[in-house]
Structures are given as C-alpha cells and as structure tokens.
Chains A and B, each alone.
Chain A
Amino acid sequence: EADIYQTPRYLVIGTGKKITLECSQTMGHDKMYWYQQDPGMELHLIHYSYGVNSTEKGDLSSESTVSRIRTEHFPLTLESARPSHTSQYLCASSEGSGVGGYTFGSGTRLTVV
C-alpha cells in the first residue's frame, strides 16, 4: 500500500525528447527528494524540496529540473534527454524532522536510446 507513487515505472525514449517523471505522495510530507541510482551503486541526491515553491539542487549535478507547486506533487523534467541520463530515478518524502518516516517510491527506470 504505497503512499508515494511514481509514474511511469519504465520509460524508453529517444534522444532529444522532453520527459517528465511524476511523483506524488499522500502523507502530507513537507520534504520531498529525487535520487538517481545506477546499478550496484549508491543513491545520489539530485533535487530536494522543503515545501511548496521551495526547490534546491542536491549533491549530484543533474540537467533535470523540478517544481513544487503542490505539497503532494514533485515532478522531475528533462528538457532534452540523452543516453547519459539512462538510470533509475527514485522519489522520496519525509516528515519535517527527517528522523521519522522516510519513504521511497518504486522508481522510474529511464532508458534513453
């Protein structure tokens, strides 16, 4: 019974296309995050948000952009996809203190051909 939803689960797209990865949570969490994960590697934070109209870049440089117009929604956009963007993208959200629940979505596996 996932409380954080990501769509699509899998996406294969051609180089140069614009894509948006969707992430929604129903827990009312203020903090939301996007991570990038390559096979066998650790998760890297690429974007985070403290709340509506708040977005920041994470540790790993990314050509993607994010927006936070509503508390429950945190989409990630790539204006022009490239093969180097091929990866798994994980969305997460947490309670205000960060000590409690920290929930991940099921991820979007993106392949750019």
Chain B
Amino acid sequence: KNQVEQSPQSLIILEGKNCTLQCNYTVSPFSNLRWYKQDTGRGPVSLTIMTFSENTKSNGRYTATLDADTKQSSLHITASQLSDSASYICVVSDRGSTLGRLYFGRGTQLTVWP
C-alpha cells in the first residue's frame, strides 16, 4: 500500500528559530515529491517540487531535500516567522498511472510563537 508518513504531527517553535519537518514514503514507482503549505481553512499552496534526480530545492526560507534511495524528504524552515504557522503537507506522485496519482500525508501542524 502506498503511504506517506509525516513527523512530527505537530510542532511549536519560537519566532526566529529554525525547524525541520520529515516525510517518509513508500510510493512506487516514484515520480515527484511536493511540499505544500496550508493555512487554516484555505487550500494548499505549493512550496517546492522535486523529481527523482533532484536532492534539494529552495524557495526563500524553505529548503526541501529528497533522498530517493531511502525514500525520505525533509522541509527545513529558516528564521521562522509568525506567518509560517500552518500545516505543511508532503505529497508524493507516482508514475504508474495516467492520472499521476497523488498520495497525501496528514501534514505537520507548525505553530510559531512570538
């Protein structure tokens, strides 16, 4: 069964600190991995997308890494801001179907305190 597991489930950090979110997956055959930020009551917004050949991708203070051999990814947030408070969702796509099916993690709920 294809799965995407994220950890931790929730995280509280102080403003200005760094943090790292984890994503492990078993989706095969792998196509790409995306990180999304979802504010409460809103739709997910794309942060990064990485294919098999890419092992790191940055978007401002967000840096995602991918180890396709161990099927692990991480999202590192630098110098956190209050606006970073959101759910961060790891999404993995397979290439075994025409649809390019997406598999969603449950997300890590990040809270940044002042």
Residues on B with C-beta less than 8 A from A42 are: 4, 89, 104-107
Majority secondary structure, A binding face: strand
Known contacts A41-B106, A99-B31, A107-B42; 12 further A-B pairs (Cβ under 8 A): A31-B99, A40-B107, A42-B105, A43-B104, A45-B101, A48-B99, A90-B44, A94-B100, A99-B32, A99-B49, A104-B45, A107-B41
Instruction: Say yes or no for B46: interface residue by CB 8 A criterion.
Output: yes
Known: A98-B99, A99-B31. A90 touches B43 (CB 8 A): yes
> Across the A-B interface, how many residue pairs have beta carbons closer than 8 Å?
51
Q: Is the CB of A102 within 8 A of B107?
A: no
Majority secondary structure, B binding face: strand
Question: How far is the CB of A82 from the nearest CB of chain B, in Å?
Answer: 22
B: number of interface residues (CB 8 Å): 25
Interfacial residues, chain A to chain B (CB-CB below 8 A): 6, 31, 40-43, 45, 48, 50, 88, 90, 92, 94, 97-99, 101-107, 109
What 9 A-B pairs have minimum CB-CB distances, sorted nearest first? A98-B100, A104-B43, A42-B104, A43-B104, A42-B106, A106-B43, A104-B44, A107-B43, A105-B43
Q: Compute how far the CA of A48 lies from the CA of B99 in the bound complex, rounded to whole angstroms.
A: 9
Instruction: Say yes or no for B51: interface residue by CB 8 A criterion.
Output: yes
Interfacial residues, chain B to chain A (CB-CB below 8 A): 4, 31-32, 34, 36, 41-46, 49, 51, 89, 93, 98-102, 104-107, 109
Q: Is the CB of B43 within 8 A of A99?
A: no
Q: Quick one: which of A43, A103, A105 contacts B46, CB cutoff 8 A?
A: A103
Q: Compute how far the CA of A22 lies from the CA of B79 in the bound complex, rounded to whole angstroms.
A: 38
Residues on B with C-beta less than 8 A from A43 are: 44, 89, 104
